[in-house]
């Protein structure tokens, strides 16, 4: 085949034939298609889209570029969750041990943060000794002993996606819904889980800003999963304000442990339980209510076993930033807006996030939100506490925070409901 013919077919609005898709993905992975040619094809896909058969076949080709994991040696059904990312989204941390405490095995492959969105692996690496990189055999051992594992994807899993993702990041084609969906689903299907629940975030702090775009992405991913024989359901959830009170790394771990101990912010608890029930239902396990596993301590027990099995010390003190700066309410009234994006950028500028994948993060840096939209505040009360290892970071973080909240004498905030919709 010829790369130019494939590019022209999609450029002119046509559908790519299965053999064209198979060839293009394989040839690009092997280096037989030049970067500029795949850039042109990715842009053509962004502009003209893909049909359901095309995106399913594209995903299948990316899966075939690497290994497929399988968990038949386990005596439990497997189920997994994927979030499209946001601000304060620490749900994976309490969710994986919670679902495992209810009888499922949870092989959770997670990623690192980039820009204003946090990464699960960055959060967990704030726990002294904890390891993100595990071999397949080590993953199986942790699943067998703890019931849940959270780790980085190995290099053999969907290498075509890893290469294409890096290209999309520098060619202005990240926003393509078919390419987003196939990127996520190729890794999740190759991971070998038996059921998958997708948490598609909507709002300023999310990649999808509108409900319509989020629904299109959710429907595309559910279609891919269904056509590959994977039980898949998606929830659209709010990311127009931060999730929970803590935004950062160690501070989000601490908040997750609060949830596992039976406390924590109400929105984090609600979303954790909602996703847990969806995961258990998809895995055919509905005998135990996950709320009971939070109350009786069994979810906390799994957390401690999982962290220990990956080299971490669940009792060790978490890193704490050296410097703090408190942002106070300038007036009394109702907090009507706390913008997720603004808070996320502030945490990033404080050192909790990274601009490039190779950048280090500060485990103690972040933002603590003392009020949520709808709360009544008094003048001079703390609204936010900024944490950083270097006080020179506060000035840029404050620029992000200054326009990120609104206080009115009265009124109700205009917010998405936490759970917006369900796609199955």
- Over range 124-130, report the average pLDDT: 98
Alpha carbon distance 395, 349 (integer Å)? 9
Confidence band of 281 (pLDDT split at 50, 70, 90): very high
pLDDT score at 154: 86
pLDDT at 395: 97
Class of domain 80-154+163-309: alpha beta
* Residues in CB range of 2: below 8 A, 6 or more apart: none
Q: Which residues are part of the catalytic machinery?
A: 82, 161, 168, 183, 187
pLDDT score, position 423: 98
Across 246-268, b (16+ Cβ under 10 Å) vs e yields bbbbbbbbbbbbbbbeeebbebb
46-83 pLDDT, tens digit each: 999 999 999 999 999 999 999 999 999 999 999 999 99
* CATH 3.90.1170.30 domain position(s) in the chain: 323-408
- CATH 3.40.1030.10 location in the chain: 80-154+163-309
pLDDT digits 0-9 by tens, 76-98 = 999 999 999 999 999 999 999 99
The answer, yes or no, to whether residue 114 has pLDDT greater than 80, is no
**Residue 271 · residue 243 · CB < 8 Å:** yes
pLDDT of residue 288: 82
**CATH 3.10.290.10 holds for 323-408:** no
CA pair distance 290, 104, nearest whole angstrom = 11
- Whether the pLDDT of residue 400 is over 80: the answer is yes
Average pLDDT over residues 137-163: 94
Which pLDDT belongs to residue 328?
98
Q: Say what the pLDDT of residue 170 is.
A: 84
CATH architecture of 3-49: Up-down Bundle (1.20)
Count CA atoms within 13 Å of residue 388 on its CB side.
19
CA angle 374, 380, 385 (to 5 degrees): 75
pLDDT tens digits, one per residue of 333-392: 999 999 999 999 999 999 998 877 778 899 999 999 999 999 999 999 999 999 999 999
Nearest Cα to Cα of residue 106 among 134, 133, 76: 76
């Amino acid at each position: 085949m010829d790369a130019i013919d494939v590019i022209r077919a999609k450029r002119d609005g046509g559908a790519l034939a299965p053999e064209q898709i198979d060839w293009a993905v394989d040839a690009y992975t092997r280096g037989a298609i030049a970067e500029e040619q795949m850039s042109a094809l990715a842009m053509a896909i962004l502009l003209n889209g893909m049909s359901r058969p095309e995106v399913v076949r594209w995903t299948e080709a990316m899966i075939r570029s690497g290994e497929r994991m399988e968990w038949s040696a386990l005596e439990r059904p497997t189920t997994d969750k994927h979030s499209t990312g946001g601000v304060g989204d620490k749900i994976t941390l309490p969710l994986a041990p919670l679902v495992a405490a209810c009888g499922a095995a949870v092989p959770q492959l997670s990623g690192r943060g980039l820009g204003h969105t946090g990464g699960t692996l960055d959060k967990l690496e704030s726990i002294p000794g904890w390891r993100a990189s595990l071999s397949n055999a080590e993953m199986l051992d942790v699943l067998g002993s703890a019931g849940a594992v959270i780790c980085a994807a190995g290099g053999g899993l969907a290498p075509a996606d890893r290469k294409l993702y890096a290209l999309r990041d520098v060619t202005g084609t990240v926003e393509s819904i078919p390419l987003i969906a196939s990127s996520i689903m190729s890794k999740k299907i190759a991971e070998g889980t038996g059921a998958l629940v997708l948490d598609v975030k909507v709002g300023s702090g999310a990649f999808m800003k509108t409900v319509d775009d989020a629904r299109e992405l959710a429907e595309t991913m559910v279609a891919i999963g269904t056509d590959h024989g994977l039980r898949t359901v998606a929830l659209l959830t709010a990311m127009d304000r931060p999730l929970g009170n803590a935004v950062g790394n160690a501070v989000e771990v601490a908040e997750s442990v609060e949830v596992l101990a039976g406390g924590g912010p109400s929105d984090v608890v609600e979303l954790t339980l909602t996703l847990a029930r969806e995961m258990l239902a998809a895995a055919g396990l509905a005998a135990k209510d996950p709320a009971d596993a939070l109350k009786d301590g069994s979810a906390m027990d799994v957390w401690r076993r999982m962290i220990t099995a990956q080299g971490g010390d669940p009792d060790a003190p978490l890193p704490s930033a050296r410097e703090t700066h408190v942002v106070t309410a300038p007036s009394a009234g109702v907090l009507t807006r706390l913008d997720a994006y603004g808070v996320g950028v502030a945490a990033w500028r404080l050192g909790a996030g990274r601009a490039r994948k190779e950048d280090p993060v500060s485990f103690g840096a972040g933002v603590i939100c003392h009020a949520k939209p709808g709360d009544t505040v008094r003048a001079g009360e703390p609204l936010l506490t900024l944490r950083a290892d270097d006080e020179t970071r506060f000035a840029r973080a404050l620029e992000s925070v200054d326009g990120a909240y609104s206080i009115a004498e009265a009124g109700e905030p205009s917010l998405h409901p936490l759970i917006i919709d369900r796609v199955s």
